[in-house]
Structure formats: C-alpha cells, structure tokens
A and B are shown apart, each in its own frame.
Chain A
Amino acid sequence: MNNYITEFETLFKDVLENEDIVLTNETTATEIDEWDSINHIYLVVEIEKHFKIKFSSSEILQWQNVGEMIDSVKAKKED
C-alpha cells in the first residue's frame, strides 16, 4: 500500500504542479487547493497511463478519497 501512496504522490505533484502535496489514504479533494474537477480528470488519465489500467466510469464516480482510488488500482493490478 505504501508503495502506491508514494507513486500517487509523485503523480499528484506532477499534475497539480505543487511539490508540497502529502497524501494519506484519507486525503480528499477538499484538502488540496489545486485538486478541482478539471484537474481530477487529468489525474485519472495520468493514473490510468502510469499503471496501464482502465477504470470504468462508475468506479471513478464512487471514489471518496485517495485510499479508495488506490484500492481500485490495486484490485486491477492484482487481478
């Protein structure tokens, strides 16, 4: 899990252009200024590219925090 968090953190820093971002499983969009609805789409695209996976739309719409995003990636990678 820790590995995923670090990889996510790098992606977030890159897309949101903010080096100070620190992620935990409980982090939500409201806590990071740059994480708004347009950037969210870019994050999804980058995560899919990075992990070479494809989410379903309904999966994406159910995420509530970073932990749930990571769970989705894990489920796909470890299938």
Chain B
Amino acid sequence: MLFNSFEFFIFLPIVFVLYWFVLNKNLSIQNILLLVASYVFYGWWDVRFLSLIMLSTILDYYVGLKIHNTEEPKKRKHWLWLSMGFNLGLLCFFKYFNFFIDSWITAFNSVGIEMDPFALSIILPVGISFYTFQTMSYSLDISKRRLEPTKDFVAFATFVAFFPQLVAGPIERASNLLPQFLKRRKFDYYLAADGLRQMLWGLFKKIIIADNCAPYVNDIFANYGSQSSGTLILGVIVFAFQIYADFSGYTDIAIGTARLFGFDFKRNFNFPYFSRNISEFWKKWHISLSSWLNDYLFTPLAIEFRNYKKHGIFTALFLTFLISGLWHGAGWTFIIWGGLHGLYYIPVIYSKKRFTSISTNKKTSKKEEYSLSDLPKIILTFLMVCLTYIFFRAASVADAFGYIKIIFTEIPLWPSSVPYKSLFFIAVVMVTEWFQRGKEHGLQFNEDSKVPVYLRWTIYILLLLTILVFSGQQQEFIYFQF
C-alpha cells in the first residue's frame, strides 16, 4: 500500500478509530491491532514476502534472548552470527545475487574466459534493506550489552513491522522504538495535529515536486546524448530536488503517521541541502541510515584500524561509504556514488582542523545555525552532492561518464526545456524550509505559536488545493527499490 494511494486514505482512518476509540483499554490488544494492520499494509503489496519479515522477526526475537542468557563469549558470538548470516543472506540473495553473478561473468569474459550470462528472475521484496537493518541492530545492541531483549513477542514483531516505517524507514533502533510499544500511549492533541501537518507537508513534497519532476528527469537521463550541457546541468539539479522531495516527503508522512498513534520516531532529515560542508550533509540526510552505518560499521572498523591514525580513519570511512552505496542498489553506479562521497572526506580528515564524523544523532545546537552569509558554502556543497547524483541516477557507469563529459566539454547554454512549474514549487518548499530550519518539519507551528488560526487554515487549504490541481502522475517512492 502506498502512502499516496486511495487505499491508504481508507486504511488509515479505520486503524486510527479502532486504535483510539475501540481497543484503547488494552495495551496488548492495541499492539496486536498495529501488528495486523502492518501485515495488511505490507501484504497489500505482496503477501508472499510477508513470510520473510515473519522469519526475520522470529529469528531475531529468539537470538536476542539467547545472546542475553548466555555468558560464554563464544556462544554469544555464534548466536549473533546466526542473526547476521540470516539477515545478510536474505539481502544478498534477493538484492545482490544477479549483480554478483553478472560482475563475476564480466570479470571472466574480460580476461578471455567465455562464460554465458545467466540470471535468476528475482523480485526485490519491498523494504527488505530497511527491516533487516532494523532487526540486525537489535541483536547487535544486545550482544554489545547495550540493550535488554524484550520478552513480549507481539511488541517485538510490531517494532519490526510497524507500517509507517516498514517499507522505507526511518530505520528505528530498538532502544528508541521498542519501549514505546511496552507502555500506554496517550492521545495528545498537539502531537496528533502536528503529525497531520507533517503528513500534509510530506504529501505536498511527494505529489507536487517529486511526481512532477520525475518525467522531466527521466527524459533527460534516458536521452542525455542528444541534450545540451545546460539541460544536463538543470536535469541533475532537478533530480536532486526530486529525490529530496520524494524521500524526505515519504519520511514526513511516516513520522506524521506514527505521531497520530502516539509514537515518536527519530528524525531522518534535517534540511540537508542547507549544509555547508559534506560532513554536515551526512548528519542531515537519511540520518537513520548514516547513524546505523556509523555505529555498526564505521566505528568498529575505525577502532580496528586506529593505530594507522588518519589513514585508518579514512579507510574505515571510505569502506563505509562504498557499502552505503551498495546498500542503495546492486550496481556499480551506486558504489561509485558512495566512493565519491568517501573521497569528499579527504580534506575533512587530512586537514588538521576539527574532525567531524559521517553522522551523529545530536540535536541541532545553536552553533549549527546557518545564515544567508553561508550561501556560497551551501551552494558548493549542493553542487558536490549533485555531481554524485549523476552516478546515482544514471542507468550505467558508462552513461554517467557520458553525461558528465557533455557537461564539462560543452559550453552550457540555456536549457532547451525548463520545468517552470516544478521550479516554482521547489522554490516555495525551499524558502519555507529555510525559514522553518530550526523546526522539525516545514509545516510545524510551536504549541504557543502566534500564527492565527485563519492563516494556518488558509495555508492548509492552499496546499490541499495545490495537491488536487497540480498533482503529477502517481509515482512509486524512489527509496522503495532499495
């Protein structure tokens, strides 16, 4: 079921009413409702793959208890390896099998050994990269003694499958989300209303910007060879806003939906395109993934390599980015995308100024406040990110290099077609978010906000009307494919 679909529009109020008005007396029954609703939400898309989520849930629930109840380090490790092996095995089979076979055959062919290509027709189960990461973090945290396993199976299963974040995150940690399933949720009018506003903002970004930009960008990337340099530059810039609107829009809907049910997700985007350097960008973009990679991949690697000082840290960081690329998709384009981001860190690590990491879960401090005088740095960072997007979006590595070659070898002329309508809405969103940059989302009003009610409702109605009038053709969320 898609957030931007008619089914969801019916599904959500039904679950909401049952949750708060019918089954509100009993916590376990509320959790069962959420679990059933989550399985319906996922099963709507494909019932067969529900079994994978259930398997992963049962295994990690059991492994968590086993690790906790064993003191012997060797046995603890064996249980952890079982969880990692199973989850990564699922990922490798469904996501990477054909990629590895393909790369293998190409490698053999390139040294003169002829091999016939073959590929299994494997469908990628939606959300697999997200929920396997979520369940793995549970077992990892228990093995590092940072978390106590739960004995409430339903709460754990709902934590894994909770529908607002099941298919494309945020990748929640058990330490934040699981306790919320174990205590009574109270209906809070301000939180619920704020959740609705965040959903509206997310829908607006998704339907008005992402869906309208998609055809324009698709056309440019499909026929880049016959486009001018100027058009290609605009194409990748529009793509940058498309993917931001798509993914942060999705996240806003997810966080807003969770708030309607009294749950608080961690922040996943913090206005990333206002970042002044690359390390700031990675603290603000897809925070739940970068902090996952930071805690479970970068930090252990960097600790292992710590005797090599800066070289060790750079190696750990570069490897983390390569794997982040591979997480996004089974293709060399994604690996190069990750590698480029890793290379961007060379000046950060080797210049002996402040070292900043790929991610932390910190709240924005006063020091981090940025102003218009930072604009040159903001634009430079944005353009660096755009360059990597060419690889992210291109169909193949050769296409990406072809695209870049035209950009840098021809004189950029004014683009042949400009999506003025989309650019206008992008400007509306970016200007709004600039003024709202201290808040959690573009449409948040403080509880004691002075904005009068009539003005707020005018904004809501304007946004809704715009969605009705200017909606692009419905597109799937980009991150569903990862």
Contact surface of B with A, Cβ cutoff 8 Å: 144-146, 294-295, 298-300, 302-304, 306-307, 309, 312-313, 317, 349, 354-362, 365, 367
Could you tell me the distance between the alpha carbons of A68 and B128 in the complex, rounded to whole angstroms? 36
Is B146 in contact with A38, judged by CB distance below 8 angstroms? no
* B-chain residues with CB within 8 Å of residue A33 when the two chains form the complex: 362, 365, 367
Is A62 in contact with B313, judged by CB distance below 8 angstroms? no
Is A38 in contact with B355, judged by CB distance below 8 angstroms? yes
- Per the 8 Å Cβ criterion, residues 13-63 of A in contact with B are 17, 29-30, 33-34, 36-42, 44-45, 57-58, 60-62
7 additional A-B pairs beyond A61-B299, A62-B144, beta carbons within 8 Å, are A30-B362, A33-B367, A37-B299, A38-B357, A40-B299, A41-B299, A64-B146
Interface-central residue, A41, A57, A62, by most chain B CB under 10 Å: A41
Is B357 in contact with A37, judged by CB distance below 8 angstroms? yes
CB distance from B112 to the nearest CB of A (A): 43
* A-chain residues with CB within 8 Å of residue B358 when the two chains form the complex: 37-38
Q: Sample 17 A-B pairs with CB under 8 A, ordered by A number.
A: A33-B367, A36-B360, A36-B362, A37-B299, A37-B357, A37-B358, A38-B302, A38-B349, A38-B355, A38-B358, A40-B299, A40-B357, A42-B355, A45-B307, A57-B304, A62-B144, A62-B146
Q: Nearest residue in B to A55 (C-beta to C-beta)?
A: B303
Could you tell me the distance between the alpha carbons of A30 and B356 in the complex, rounded to whole angstroms? 14
Q: A41-B313, A62-B145 are in contact. Are A34 and B304 (CB under 8 A)?
A: no
Could you tell me the distance between the alpha carbons of A58 and B73 in the complex, rounded to whole angstroms? 11
Is B303 in contact with A41, judged by CB distance below 8 angstroms? yes
* A-chain residues with CB within 8 Å of residue B362 when the two chains form the complex: 30, 33, 36
Is A44 in contact with B306, judged by CB distance below 8 angstroms? yes
Could you tell me the distance between the alpha carbons of A33 and B283 in the complex, rounded to whole angstroms? 13
* A-chain residues with CB within 8 Å of residue B356 when the two chains form the complex: 36, 38
Is B354 in contact with A60, judged by CB distance below 8 angstroms? no
Could you tell me the distance between the alpha carbons of A41 and B304 in the complex, rounded to whole angstroms? 10
* B-chain residues with CB within 8 Å of residue A60 when the two chains form the complex: 303
Q: Nearest residue in A to B309 (C-beta to C-beta)?
A: A45
